[in-house]
Amino acid sequence: MVINKVVCTTTLMQGVNLPAKNIITRNPNLFIKAKSAGDNPKLTGYEFSNLRGRAGRLMNDFVGRSIVLDEPAFEDA
């Protein structure tokens, strides 16, 4: 059996080191429901760069793509 598409969290992507041709990121938030206190965790610049680096593998893919759906969410205030 071959799995062609996987939708996962950053934990699976970084922890298991899955190869990927394309990485699609919605926003840097690491939560589904925002907390009222404002202590909502987000991906750091290093963590996002780590995820981007997993798009495309040497000797497997000619090009790796990293797609961001909500680009303004990544901008620092």
Element (H, E) at 22: strand 22-25
Cα distance between residue 47 and residue 63, in whole Å: 21
Q: Distances in Å between the alpha carbon of 17 and those of 8, 13, 45, 57, 66?
A: 12, 6, 18, 11, 16
pTM of the predicted model, to two decimals?
0.66
Report DSSP state, residue 25: E
pLDDT in tens, 12-71: 777 776 777 888 888 887 776 767 766 778 888 888 888 888 788 777 778 888 888 887
